[in-house]
Structure 1
Amino acid sequence: MERGLCLLLGYLCGCFLTAEAVAWRHAGQSAAALGSGNPGMANIASQLGRSWGAVVLLGDIAKTILAWLLGRLLCPGLALAPLWTGLGAVLGHNFPFWRGFRGGKGVAVTCACLVLFSPLWGGLACLGGLAAVLFSGYLPLGAVTIPVLFVPPAFLCYGREAGALALILALTMFSRHVRGLRRMLRGEEPRKFRGKQR
């Protein structure tokens, strides 16, 4: 019961797409009509400027924090409430019902979820993802690296349920970036840092 409630709370919070609000407020149109069409920080930053991208990032983090707070308030006896609400927020962000279940890729929400649940291992996983981007220049690789790195410590430090939730987060991230990873393998994915090209 508590797990389902946390998942639902997180999903409803995640369904608020900050990028959509920013796009309509600043450009007068949906984020789907801008650039890649993805309602996320990177697309908004490339189309409307870094300051608006930062607004999207902060909004996505804020909604994840809100889900985390609601989970702790309403389900204080559930130790993994932050992870359940975080998973819900990721699913709401990626598959919002009001947008035909077509949402973002969930990188910022996933990072916020992992750090809120485990500041140490979540923070290290995020740094590992950043290192993957800096080393390779590929954003999809870095995005997938983050939850994958979190899976082993989730199992070892927090148990099977936490590990299973972390694995779902990793698979969800992979599903949102599989096209980018395929383009990367074919040499068609643009590198974030052109100086890394060989």
Structure 2
Amino acid sequence: MIWIICLLLIGGYLLGSIPSAVWIGRWFYRTDVREYGSHNAGATNTLRVLGRRAALPVFVIDAAKGYGAVMLAHLADLQGDGLFFLKIGLTAAAILGHIFPIFAGFKGGKGVATMAGCMLAIAPIPMLMGLATFVIVLAVSHYVSLGSMTGGVLFPFYILLVDGFQPYKLLFGVLVAVVLLITHRKNIKRLREGTENKTFLFIRRPKA
């Protein structure tokens, strides 16, 4: 069983390592998004550098690889808490793969979309509530980082609201919130300084 779990974790990391932003940028736009903008290989930087048409498939692929990584847990003969902890491990493996992708020189993104896919697999309704929060905050503030952090911080509360007090699932929600805050440290600083980049997803960017 141990070797099966190890293989699954490796598989989760390899799925997370699929650098959709890098590959789509290079193959279709002859551009490495990591050389521009925030230098992250994620959907947000792809949106800023290459536009919506490139960012949408990047987001979908990144979320799908997180969801798929967690679903690998069902290949193991585990039930109950054991299955849940394996899903948590696969979540960590997929996000680690996205941040440090073996297929793109270990230089990836922050893993927000990949984490969203993992969240969807583990706590679908709370995750969709978090996604709705993200969209609302983004539409009002035009800050992707603020939307991501707000949705992430509220995620454990949504779990409590929807699923009740389930210690392990609630702990997962808290870990998601903490990871999002840690990976957005620079964004928090820029938000406080008023220098964070705005993203106008639904309307045209106002002229300066």
Is the structural similarity TM-score above 0.5? yes
- Contact 2:19 2:103 (8 Å CA) reproduced: no
Alpha-carbon distance change, 3 to 148 in structure 1, aligned in 2, over 3 angstroms: farther
Aligned match of 1:117: 122
Q: How does 1:40-51 map to 2 (within 5 A)?
A: 40-51=42-53
Which digits, 9 at most, give the CA deviation of each residue in 1:14-36, with x for residues without a partner?
11111111122123353322333
Structure 2 unmatched runs, 5+: none
Q: Which amino acid aligns with 2:129?
A: L
Shift of 1:39: 0.6
Which digits, 9 at most, give the CA deviation of each residue in 1:71-92, with x for residues without a partner?
2223542442444323321222
For the pair 1:28 / 2:35, whether they are aligned, the reply is: no
Alpha-carbon distance change, 35 to 137 in structure 1, aligned in 2, over 3 angstroms: closer
Cα-Cα RMSD: 2.8
- Contact 1:31 1:44 (8 Å CA) reproduced: yes
Alpha-carbon distance change, 34 to 151 in structure 1, aligned in 2, over 3 angstroms: same
Q: Which amino acid aligns with 2:175?
A: I
TM-score (norm 1): 0.82
Which digits, 9 at most, give the CA deviation of each residue in 1:135-158, with x for residues without a partner?
322211111122221223446636
Aligned match of 2:138: 133
Alpha-carbon distance change, 159 to 95 in structure 1, aligned in 2, over 3 angstroms: farther
Q: Which amino acid aligns with 1:176?
A: T
1:64 maps to which of 51, 63, 66:
66
Alpha-carbon distance change, 101 to 161 in structure 1, aligned in 2, over 3 angstroms: farther
Identical aligned pairs, as a percentage? 27
1:171 maps to which of 155, 172, 178:
178
The CA distance in 1 between the partners of 2:47 and 2:194, in whole Å, is 24
The CA distance in 2 between the partners of 1:60 and 1:152, in whole Å, is 25
Aligned match of 1:191: 198
TM-score (norm 2): 0.78
Alpha-carbon distance change, 143 to 97 in structure 1, aligned in 2, over 3 angstroms: same
Which digits, 9 at most, give the CA deviation of each residue in 1:40-91, with x for residues without a partner?
1122233223222112112112212321332222354244244432332122
Structure 1 unmatched runs, 5+: none
What number of residue pairs does the alignment pair up? 196
The CA distance in 1 between the partners of 2:70 and 2:27, in whole Å, is 27
The CA distance in 1 between the partners of 2:109 and 2:122, in whole Å, is 22
- Aligned residue for 2:179, secondary structure, equals helix
Does 121-130 or 45-54 show the bigger shift? 45-54
Aligned match of 2:13: 11
